[in-house]
Amino acid sequence: MGKMLGIKVPKKEAEKIRKQLLELNLLDVNFKIKHQNDFVIFPIKERIKGFEIIETTFEKATKRPHSYREVVNIPSELQPLLPSSFDIIGDIAIIELPEELISHGKNIGKAILKVHKHIKAVFAKGSKVSGEYRVRELLHLAGENRTEAIHRENGIRLKLDVAKVYFSPRLATERMRVFERAKEGEVVFDMFAGVGPYSILLAKKVKMVFACDVNPIAIRYLEENKKLNKVENLIPILGDVRKVAGQVKADRVIMNLPKFAHEFLKEAMISVRKGGVIHYYGFSHEENLFEEHLEKIEKVAEELGKNVKVLEKRKVRPYAPYQFNIAIDFSVF
């Protein structure tokens, strides 16, 4: 390798000088910095006044890849189809691959493991979320063939099986938003609790949480998560919320079943005390985000002889082209 320009600086000043060189765009980042006794030698792009300049050889820097896309072994014409991101639940990655990439899934999985050292298993989404339990099929791509993990979110730990229960790490911010709205002393009814991402979090703040789910595996994990997070003021209820509704009078009701929440509005309204708040979720086209949902909410309220007051309407996240998961918070009188 040919000789290059470098500047030799005392070790104790090296960090300060490195930052200055970077700022001035004079450091040649394609080469490795050299250490020599009490001195550091920086590869530089051009001569700089005021420093001891030496001519020397530098090793080429090995750049750490930032994305699995930089190391994946697939035909180059398919490269543009690679998703830029994937979900991470604990140490499990779940990626959504287009048809054309499914047969290259193993290599994609291996590339994810190579770049993200904390990920131990990679799966591809094998179907859409479906059925009463809102779960999807998963295809194992690489690493351990294990679907149970412990996910950290909003300061709590959630143990769950990604193949047997619903869980989306993308709702963490929304759950924190509800947590911030909730007040100490409240009773909360989480109608579709899953493994407890809302319930456990809220139990850390409010007086009591009733958490219902029809999936026995979700409730089993919810029981475990209660212990894992040392939460006592939470009552898991296994069953169809249609049978449970009305037996609880809550200050706050969470309806996190966006696909079907509109079918459960009566259950929510008979479970909330006068002046209490309902967090309603739905799916909408971007051209009509809230109207249809609001009409349904008002219709059910009228049937029950109640009034509603909308407190907040918002997009939670996009979930398909032009489609959004939306939230409407309203109080009932």
Ligand X SMILES: C[S@@+](CC[C@H](N)C(=O)[O-])C[C@H]1O[C@@H](n2cnc3c(N)ncnc32)[C@H](O)[C@@H]1O
Which CB sits closer to ligand X, 112 or 135?
135
Q: How far is the CB of 198 from ligand X (least distance, A)?
A: 5
Task: Examine residue 325 and tell whether it contacts ligand X (CB under 6 A).
Answer: no
Q: Between 197 and 216, how does the x/- string for binding to ligand X read (CB under 6 A)? A: xx-------------xxxx-
Task: Examine residue 194 and tell whether it contacts ligand X (CB under 6 A).
Answer: yes
Q: Between 242 and 261, how does the x/- string for binding to ligand X read (CB under 6 A)? A: x-------------xx----
Please provide the size of the chain in residues.
333
Which CB sits closer to ligand X, 186 or 213?
213
Task: Examine residue 222 and tell whether it contacts ligand X (CB under 6 A).
Answer: no
Which CB sits closer to ligand X, 212 or 301?
212
Which CB sits closer to ligand X, 97 or 257?
257
Which CB sits closer to ligand X, 43 or 196?
196
Q: At 271, list the tokens.
A: 């479970």
* Stretch of 23-31, 63-71, 112-120, 129-137 lying at the interface with ligand X (CB under 6 A): 129-137
Distance of alpha carbon 167 from alpha carbon 133, whole angstroms: 11
Q: How far is the CB of 209 from ligand X (least distance, A)?
A: 12
Distance of alpha carbon 156 from alpha carbon 198, whole angstroms: 10
* Stretch of 23-31, 94-102, 226-234, 238-246 lying at the interface with ligand X (CB under 6 A): 238-246
Distance of alpha carbon 90 from alpha carbon 157, whole angstroms: 9
**Closest Cα to residue 205, out of 166, 170, 174, 233?**
233
Q: At 94, list the tokens.
A: 């779940």
The DSSP H or E segment spanning 59 is: none
Alpha helices, H only, the chain: 11-23, 99-102, 105-115, 172-181, 197-203, 216-228, 241-244, 265-269, 291-303
Please tell me the count of residues contacting ligand X according to CB under 6 A: 21
Q: Between 139 and 168, how does the x/- string for binding to ligand X read (CB under 6 A)? A: ---------------------------xx-
Which CB sits closer to ligand X, 218 or 269?
218
Diameter of the chain by CA atoms?
86
The beta strands (E) that lie in the chain are given as: 4-10, 34-36, 39-43, 52-56, 87-89, 92-95, 121-125, 138-143, 148-153, 156-161, 187-190, 208-213, 234-238, 250-255, 272-285, 308-320, 323-332
Task: Examine residue 280 and tell whether it contacts ligand X (CB under 6 A).
Answer: no
**Closest Cα to residue 72, out of 41, 95, 40?**
95
* Contacting residues toward ligand X, per CB under 6 A: 132-134, 166-167, 171, 192-194, 197-198, 212-215, 218, 240-242, 256-257
